[in-house]
């Protein structure tokens, strides 16, 4: 008994260091081009902010962005929105009606936070410039400089400070380019240099450079075929030369045209932040940030990341578990759909349409003394769900009878003994007619 208690408390300590998450991560607004940074032990997310442009706002059917928000999180699940940090109407050099505040970045130097952002110049002939806004804290308030960085025309700035203190800015201009930054972080210290040895055909943008074990990874979205996939090249110095090495993430199977990404190492795990048009399946210029774990091979190359809905970390059985963010699903009779196509931010539901159809949601932490389960569901003819642990043939934790009706209801059922610890959760349509499930929660 004593050993068991020691084991359980050790497990809980381990779990408290684990991270919880589901994709997409920002649930109440679009959040494209996610640049994540770790500042003071917290993760800060600096995405661009897609909106659905109204008449007169930018170019119809195109990207429409008027400002930037910053978000922070300590567990990669619960994100605090710190509000707008820079807006097109409050930067002297930016066209206040441009709606083109594209992918940004942020970096810390000597206690100051430098936020880099591209935007359309007031003087249209000058094209897209790259501006800087400076703050004393990662969440702002940020004060924008009145002029863009001289000599940097283009989009998607990314800034890296090497171990020797030299800062570099990468961006998409005339090709993917790099220049040194002065110590003040607001002026170029060298002429922009086009990064060599990259694919010559197909659009390249959104560069992101990071260093690991003395190797420099130059990563970028590239249209090799139809839409953007994430690729990388490796080198021994921040300015290259780089050697094309591989693909980090394949093209989106549902053809979101862009992908844009960043990487962090947080609590001993590497994460890839990227985007997808989850909340806007019919218009791929309204995108949302996602996270998945990433891993390296022994030779330092990056293992390909498969995008998931499940995202990262362990979920708590006592919180609402949105099984539609699944890890796997049966080939027949199971699917997901938006709860409300007019307000996609309400999220998704699982539809189980045929007997033995199932959906699996991996890595849920069950604590002691779970007595019951609640399922929010609807079934016009009534149906019986079975909840199994670990896999489709695992032990039955509960049977939940969903009554006949047209309205969603929360049904409670008894749970058989569940061994505390981490299990996968499988929801199966055991008998009866189709059932739709919103969420599952254990008590
Ligand atoms: O968000 C607008 C543009 O789409 C970004 O600047 C590119 O990287 C692409 O994601």
The reported pLDDT for the residue numbered 16 is: 37
Stronger pLDDT, 169 or 368, i.e. the higher one? 169
Task: Tell me the C-alpha distance between 11 and 282, whole Å.
Answer: 43
CA pair distance 443, 97, nearest whole angstrom: 51
| Burial letters 344-379, b for 16+ CB under 10 A, else e | beebbbbbbeeeebbbbbbbbbbbeebeebbbbbbb
pLDDT at 367: 85
Q: What is the mean pLDDT of residues 243-261?
A: 96
Query: Binning pLDDT at 50, 70 and 90, where does residue 308 land?
Result: very high
Q: What's the whole-number mean pLDDT along residues 355-382?
A: 96
Quick check: 350 and 324 in contact, CB under 8 A?
A: yes
pLDDT at position 10 is 40
Residue ID of nearest Cα to ligand 1 atom 1 = 102
Whether residue 181 is predicted with pLDDT greater than 50 in this model: the reply is yes
Catalytic residue among 66, 105, 156, 205: 205
What is the pLDDT averaged over residues 87-107? Answer: 98
Q: Is the per-residue pLDDT at 95 higher than 50?
A: yes
- CATH code given to domain 315-442: 2.60.120.260
- How many whole angstroms from 50 Cα to the centroid of ligand 1? 10
pLDDT at site 246: 98
Q: Which fold has domain 19-294?
A: Tachylectin-2; Chain A (2.115.10)
Q: Is the pLDDT of residue 32 over 80?
A: yes
Q: How far apart are CA 300 and CA 221, in angstroms?
A: 20
Name the residue among 137, 89, 79 with its Cα closest to residue 288: 79
Domain ranges of the chain: 19-294, 315-442
- What is the Å distance from ligand 1's center to 285 Cα? 9
Catalytic site includes residue 33: yes
- Ligand 1 site-directed mutation target among 206, 259, 277, most atoms within 8 Å of CB: 206
What is the predicted pLDDT for the residue at 258? 98
pLDDT for the residue numbered 1: 42
Tokens 């844009």 appear where? 260
Compute, in angstroms, the gap from residue 44 CA to the centroid of ligand 1.
Answer: 19
Q: What is the band of 376 on the pLDDT scale with cuts at 50, 70, 90?
A: very high
Helix (H, G, I), strand (E, B) or coil at 172: strand
pLDDT of residue 18: 38
Nearest Cα neighbor of 211 from 182, 248, 168 is 168
Q: Is the pLDDT of residue 19 over 70?
A: no
Catalogue the long-range contacts made by 13-17 (C-beta closer than 8 Å, 24 or more residues apart): 15/314, 15/365, 15/422, 17/267
Q: Are strands 215-223 and 42-48 parallel, antiparallel or unpaired?
A: unpaired
pLDDT confidence tier of residue 124, bands split at 50, 70 and 90: confident
Ligand 1 atom closest to the Cα of residue 275 is 10
| 3 state DSSP class of 186 | coil
Q: Name the 3-class secondary structure at 6.
A: helix
Share of the chain above pLDDT 90, in %: 91
- Residue 12, pLDDT > 70, answer no
Q: Identify the pLDDT of residue 7.
A: 42
Give the pocket of ligand 1 (CB within 6 Å): 32-33, 48, 63, 102-103, 155-156, 205-206, 258, 260
Ligand 1 mean position, distance from CA 155 (Å): 8
**Confidence label for 78 from pLDDT (cuts 50, 70 and 90):** confident
Instruction: Quote the pLDDT of residue 21.
Output: 65
Distance CA 216, CA 237 (A): 6
Instruction: Count Cβ atoms below 10 Å from residue 315 Cβ, excluding itself.
Output: 24
* Ligand 1 atom with minimal separation from the 260 CA: 10
Query: Tens digit of pLDDT for each residue in 422-435?
Result: 999 999 999 989 99
Average pLDDT score over residue span 172-191: 97
Task: Give the residue-averaged pLDDT of 297-319.
Answer: 95
């Amino acid at each position: 008994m004593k050993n068991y208690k020691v084991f359980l408390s050790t497990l809980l300590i381990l779990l408290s260091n684990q991270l919880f998450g589901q994709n997409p991560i920002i649930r109440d607004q679009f959040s494209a081009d996610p640049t994540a940074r770790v500042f003071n032990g917290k993760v800060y997310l600096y995405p661009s902010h897609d909106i659905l442009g109204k008449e007169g706002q930018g170019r119809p059917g195109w990207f429409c962005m008027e400002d930037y928000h910053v978000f922070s999180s300590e567990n990669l699940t619960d994100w605090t929105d710190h509000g707008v940090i820079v807006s097109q109407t409050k930067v002297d050099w930016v066209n206040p009606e441009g709606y083109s505040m594209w992918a940004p970045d942020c970096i810390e130097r000597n206690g100051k936070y430098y936020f880099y952002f591209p935007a359309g110049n007031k003087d249209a002939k000058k094209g897209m410039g790259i501006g800087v806004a400076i703050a004393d804290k990662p969440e702002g308030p940020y004060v924008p400089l009145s002029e863009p960085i001289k000599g940097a025309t283009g989009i998607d700035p990314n800034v890296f400070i090497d171990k020797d203190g030299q800062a570099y800015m990468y961006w998409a201009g005339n090709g993917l380019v790099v220049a040194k930054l002065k110590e003040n972080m607001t002026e170029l210290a060298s002429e922009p240099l086009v990064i060599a040895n990259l694919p010559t055909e197909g659009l390249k943008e959104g560069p992101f450079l990071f260093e690991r074990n003395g190797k420099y990874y130059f990563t970028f979205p590239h249209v090799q075929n139809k839409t953007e996939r994430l690729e990388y090249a490796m080198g021994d110095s921040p300015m290259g030369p780089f050697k094309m090495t591989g693909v980090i993430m394949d093209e989106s199977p549902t053809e979101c045209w862009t992908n844009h990404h960043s990487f962090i190492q947080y609590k001993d795990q590497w994460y890839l932040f990227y985007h997808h048009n989850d909340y806007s399946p019919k218009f791929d210029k309204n995108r949302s940030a996602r996270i998945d774990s990433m891993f390296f091979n022994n030779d330092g190359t990056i293992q390909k990341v498969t995008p998931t809905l499940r995202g990262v970390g362990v979920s708590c059985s006592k919180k609402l578990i949105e099984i539609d963010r699944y890890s796997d699903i049966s080939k027949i009779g199971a699917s997901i759909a938006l709860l409300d196509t007019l307000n996609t931010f309400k999220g998704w539901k699982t539809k189980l349409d045929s007997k033995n159809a199932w959906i699996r949601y991996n890595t849920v932490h069950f604590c002691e003394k779970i007595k019951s389960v609640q399922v929010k569901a609807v079934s016009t003819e009534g149906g019986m769900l079975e909840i199994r642990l670990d896999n489709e043939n695992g032990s039955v934790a509960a049977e939940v009878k969903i009554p006949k009706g047209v309205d969603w209801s929360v049904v409670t059922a008894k749970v058989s003994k569940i061994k505390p610890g981490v299990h996968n959760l499988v929801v199966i349509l055991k008998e009866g007619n189709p059932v739709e499930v919103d969420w599952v929660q254990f008590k």
